[in-house]
Amino acid sequence: MSVKLALLALLETEPMYGYQLRVEFEGRTGSTWPLNVGQVYTTLTRLERDGLVEPAAGDEQQDAGGQDEDGRSQQRYRLTDAGRDEVAAWFTTPVSRTQPARDELAIKVALAVTVPGVDVGTLIQRQRTASMAALQDYTRLKRRAGESDGDLAWSLVLDSLVFAAEAEIRWLDHCEARVRRAARERATTRPAAAEQQTARSQEAGR
């Protein structure tokens, strides 16, 4: 997704300055997806052009033409009616699942089982160790977040990372079991290739 909808949703609370939007976004998502200020201002400019936000009343007069040294306008933005409709539509529509993001790991495994000479067992094993380490890290961040109140938003983002990493590990277990079974089946149905396949399944089993 673009940051557009997140910024619009934040403006639902109250009119905000660009830098403030960035702080609020990162506060709620725990800096998991860092935003740079430039990105925020570019997006606001586009949103204003599309009639979804406008300068907040009051700031308009005082800040007319006012810019900081980087040339960014120092004004607060608020939602227009069209912007408010956009936010409402976002929260009432499920996130689209029709176009899965390109998943490097899935692609890598798909290629590994088809490109000759790749040690799939080791690939899976290494990935699982790495994913497990990431999962341990998320969990420690979670323990930390749990200590103070009002961290619900951030801790739910962490849970999302935790469940995704867990799903990845389960999928890797599943791949491993299937690769081993496929190797065994090939070994029994094609005795000529048996020796090579046994070696491979042992690789996978290591």
Partner 1 sequence: MSPVLRLDTVTRVHGSGETEVQALRGISFSAHAGELVAVMGPSGSGKSTLLTIAGGLDSPTAGTVTVEGTDLGSLGQAGRARMRRTSIGYVFQGFNLVPALTAAENVALPRELDGESARRARAAALAALEEVGIADLADRFPDDMSGGQQQRVAIARAVVGSRRLILADEPTGALDSETGEEVLRLLRARCDAGAAGVLVTHEARHAAWADRVVFLRDGVVVDESGSAPVERLLDEEPAL
Binding stretches for partner 1 (CB under 8 A): 1, 3, 30-36, 125, 128-129, 131-141, 143-144, 162-163, 165-166, 169-170, 173, 177, 205-206
Q: At its nearest, how many Å lie between partner 1 and the CB of residue 90?
A: 15
Residue 74 or 122 with smaller CB distance to partner 1: 122
**Least CB distance from residue 3 to partner 1, whole Å?**
6
H or E element that contains 188: helix 152-189
Minimum CB separation of residue 123 from partner 1 in Å reads 13
Which C-beta is closer to partner 1: that of 38 or that of 58?
38
For 81, counting Cβ atoms within 10 Å of its Cβ (0-12 exposed, 13-18 middle, 19+ buried), the class is: exposed
Residue closer to partner 1, measured from CB, 108 or 190:
108
8 A C-beta contact, residue 47 and residue 7? yes
Whole-angstrom distance, CA of residue 90 vs CA of residue 78: 17
Indicate the residue among 38 and 51 with the shorter CB distance to partner 1.
38
Contact 1, 29 (CB under 8 A): no
Dist CA 150 CA 8 (whole Å): 22
